[in-house]
Structure 1
Amino acid sequence: MADMNPRLSDTSRFPDPVYKETVLRPLFDGAKGHHVEAFRQIDRAHLVMLVETGILDTGTAAKIAQALVEIDRDIDPSMLVYTGEVEDYFFLIEKELKARIGVDIAGRLHTARSRNDIDHTLFKLGLKQRIDALMVKARTLLAAMIDTAERNKTTLIVAYTHGQPAQPTTFGHYLSAAIEVLIRDIERFAEARRIVDLSSMGAAAITTSGFPIDRARVAQLLGFARAQRNSYSCIAAVDYTTSTYSAIELMFLHLGRLIQDFQFWTSFEVGQIYVPNALVQISSIMPQKRNPVPIEHLRHLASQTFGRARTMLDIMHNTPFTDMNDSEGESQGAGYEAFASASRVLDLLASLIGQISIDPERVDENIRRSCITITELADSLVRLEGLSFREAHEIAAATARSVVASKGDLPNHGFQPFFEAFRHSTNRDPQLDEPTFRKLVSPEHFVAVRKRFGGPAPEPMDEAISAYRQTLEAFERAASESAAREAQASTELNEKFTALTGAR
């Protein structure tokens, strides 16, 4: 005998208790924690639009508006406990509306919209807020880096390649390299925010609506730059999420490299960065140890941020091009953790960079021991002695080998080996005397002659610092303009909605 049709014999009731605890309760708790204000804004903007387009009459809208005000007054979302009586936070608000003004009137608020377009719009509102807060901190870090670079534009350091001392430069020049990367990272965030700043409202489930809705008006009232054009894209294209977390991923990958250098430079053997006592912890058993552990915290927090951002991209990988739960509540909530750790990194790094200094004695020692000014000797032999660069390079290399073997230093012990290597290679005496040799192999001279665009000499550094400050000012202006537009939208929405509450 065939089994009975399961549809006819199914007596179960929604929600299944395990589904309730593993899915619905976490989603409800996430919504009440992250998205309450966005729900409120969307309800109010949609209601104003329904009245302005004539889809709802003023009297009906007034009853809905007043009920929404009462719900805000009577319900503290933080105190809500999920019971399973409704599916999610959206249906809780609809249930409360029905209790206050009846099923017929309450249901009219949902005309020409869906949870699909609501969800993506409220996620975008949440991301915009978090991006803006994070970019305030990123600009603070950028300002701290520019200020520190300007203070240290003549402060000598050892620059490393492949983990070995390579050439002298300045701390300002080094930081300028990181500044330019951070500027590009902020620009990537600006582009991501431009994608986020497109309203999905009015797409409804997929294809918009037969009602004469005004999507641009809702976008305006919610503070978006404009409505996203294609309605399918509104509920399927999650590039607003992937672009945001890609920007986070890259920023903290790049900052992690800077942090790793700081860790190396504060080691006892290198010691060219000095971290002040306020940012140093002492060993619990070894009193001689100064541990600059904030740098370690920066490193692991940057890595956590990178990993959390990458998780968001992994979640979106190989998902269908449609509305789906993968991109919604729980995923968005998980992504917010990347913003939380990112904020900590930016605050701490800005503070650290503003306080660290270069130890000139350790830098001088490391420069002298490593012969890293020898490149300029080769360059000078080309200019002053008329040699080819390859021949000059061989003379300089022989000089460096001799100095290193004798455990001497280039300015004090390099002239005699240089003189001998020069005679051996050219069969003549050099025109350079010892005082000139000393000057040519000094780190100060090395930096001063590198006046080309982007170099460490004072002239290009002054031009670079000025350009960085102009870029920072442009970032600040753009942020202020965006904030002003959104504040104006918020004011208008509040005025329009308040007017409805008094209409009859």
Structure 2
Amino acid sequence: MAVTRDPRRDDKSVFPDPVYKETVLRPLFDGAKTYHVDGFRRIDRAHLVMLAETGILDRSQATAIAHALEAIDAEIDVSTLTYTGEVEDFFFLIEKELKRRLGPDLAGRLHTARSRNDIDHTLFKLGLKERVDELLAKARRLTNALIQVAAREEGTLIVAYTHGQPAQPTTFGHYLGAVTEVLLRDIQRLAAAREIVDQSPMGAAAITTSGFPIDRDRMAELLGFAKPLQNSYSCIAAVDYVTSVYGAIELMFLHLGRPIQDLQFWTSFEVGQVYVPNAFVQISSIMPQKRNPVPIEHLRHLASQTFGRARTMLDVMHNTPFTDMNDSEGETQGMGYEAFISAGRVLDLLTALVAEIRIDEARVRDNIRRSCITVTELADSLVRREGLSFREAHEIAAAVARAVVAMQGDLASDGYAAFVSAFERAAGRTATIDEAAFAEMVSPDHFVAVRNRLGGPAPEALRAALNVCRRHLAALEEQASAIAGREAAASAELQTQFRALMGEA
């Protein structure tokens, strides 16, 4: 008779397997050691205060645990720790140290009504909030720089391009105002994502909360969260706090990459409408005549790296089960933090560069002259002053532009004869516009000045738009200040209540 043997009875292996230790457990431990030590400390202390306040632990138990936690902080230099495999992870290392000081019964009481599930997501949210706040502060500084430079350059002409070709004149201030508006929307998206992060999972325990009379609101308050996340299943299963943050970062750096690419194009020798000062220029090692504005290239590739890292976080979350899972946890969080590092570098460098670059006004006027890009206003003026349909006016303006480009001339000084001829052919009469009026009509300064409608480049319209941006930025600064104040108060409250458990005034 054959006997079926249970292989589990013959399993003499000891956890952890050496390969598993090196490929999984050590990196996780090192990640926790690098990123989340302060979060663990705050969670342990807040949970202990809550357990004491609700009566789940009596005062003497809570006091003993508080003193042990304080001793662990004082005696162990976490930065020097090396993972040995004696414990599974950083959480169990702290529990082991508590047991050594208090014994297994009392030490084990700190874990009442919680799980590594709710602890982990709370850790990750604490880490994300800190990084999002720093990134938002840098983005607001860039916004402020953009507004200041836009105001400074409100009358500085540039060539606006569409489809890679000269299109119309506008001002550098008008262009930067457009970049500012997009950045403000990106900041608002990231701030909205932070509101999703700012909901505490603590108290969800493994997945269904606890039979103990825990106070989830108090835990949220002590840890500086705006409120608890309502549904306990969602606390450990929902990763929209991750996807919302990295989705917002992805969009911000996709959008910033576009004006960065414009700067690269505008600094080319052939276009040359942006001058980058020497402090931001590197010289070729072999070609001494070359001025290479390489910071713009670094901005471009770092923005792309940030976009790619943020996109990777979304890809990791794709097709994962709606439950607790390692896919969204330690190593993934650490990988995501790299996006914040490259993002911060882009924002800092772009803030510095924007303040220093200048427009080469002579080059801009020459490019405007050669490209006839003010001719749109000629068509518009013919409608207003001569009563033509826009299509008739457009055909006349097109004929004038072709003639001027063919002679490589200047629209204002060389285009009038072509205009008179084209007008008479199209309208069957003589135009009432004389040569001086024609020259004024096709000047780039006039082109900008008459576009004083909402959102236009004329100084009055641009100033109004920038004032809206200033108000929006001020509201974002006020919101950030209020959040920082609330979280500072929470930190102080946690410190006070923990010290009280230790018997300190």
Give the alignment of 1:383-402 within 5 angstroms.
383-402=384-403
- More deviation, 159-168/422-431: 422-431
Give the alignment of 1:42-441 within 5 angstroms.
42-441=43-442
User: How far is the alpha carbon of 1:465 from its aligned partner?
Assistant: 1.1
Distance 1:232 1:402 in 2: 72
Q: Where do 4+ consecutive residues of structure 1 move more than 6 Å?
A: none
Distance 1:413 1:183 in 2: 44
Distance 1:215 1:43 in 2: 14
Three-state SS of the structure 2 residue aligned to 1:201 is coil
Q: Which residue of 2 aligns with 1:24?
A: 25
User: How far is the alpha carbon of 1:502 from its aligned partner?
Assistant: 2.0
1:470 aligns with 2:490: no
Instruction: Output the TM-score relative to the length of structure 1.
Output: 0.99
The amino acid across from 1:240 in the alignment is Y
Three-state SS of the structure 1 residue aligned to 2:208 is coil
User: How far is the alpha carbon of 1:3 from its aligned partner?
Assistant: 4.6
The amino acid across from 2:187 in the alignment is I
Q: Which residue of 1 aligns with 2:445?
A: 444
User: How far is the alpha carbon of 1:501 from its aligned partner?
Assistant: 1.3
Deviation track 1:325-361 (CA, whole Å, cap 9, x = no partner) reads: 0000000000000000000000000000010010001
User: How far is the alpha carbon of 1:432 from its aligned partner?
Assistant: 0.5
Deviation track 1:383-417 (CA, whole Å, cap 9, x = no partner) reads: 11111111000000000011111111201110011
User: How far is the alpha carbon of 1:427 from its aligned partner?
Assistant: 1.7
CA RMSD of aligned residues (A): 0.9
Three-state SS of the structure 1 residue aligned to 2:161 is strand
Deviation track 1:2-52 (CA, whole Å, cap 9, x = no partner) reads: 552111111111000000000000000000000000000000000000000
Deviation track 1:155-206 (CA, whole Å, cap 9, x = no partner) reads: 1000000000000000000011110100000000111000000000000000
Three-state SS of the structure 1 residue aligned to 2:31 is helix
Distance 1:336 1:210 in 2: 36
The amino acid across from 1:244 in the alignment is V
User: How far is the alpha carbon of 1:116 from its aligned partner?
Assistant: 0.1
Distance 1:279 1:85 in 2: 52
Three-state SS of the structure 1 residue aligned to 2:158 is strand
Q: Which runs of 5+ in 1 are unaligned?
A: none
Three-state SS of the structure 1 residue aligned to 2:41 is helix
Instruction: Output the TM-score relative to the length of structure 2.
Output: 0.99
Aligned length: 504
User: How far is the alpha carbon of 1:426 from its aligned partner?
Assistant: 1.4
User: How far is the alpha carbon of 1:429 from its aligned partner?
Assistant: 1.1
User: How far is the alpha carbon of 1:260 from its aligned partner?
Assistant: 0.2
Distance 1:339 1:146 in 2: 24
Three-state SS of the structure 2 residue aligned to 1:165 is strand
Three-state SS of the structure 2 residue aligned to 1:158 is strand
Three-state SS of the structure 1 residue aligned to 2:169 is strand
Q: Which runs of 5+ in 2 are unaligned?
A: none
User: How far is the alpha carbon of 1:278 from its aligned partner?
Assistant: 0.3
Distance 2:4 2:293 in 1: 71
Distance 1:2 1:26 in 2: 42
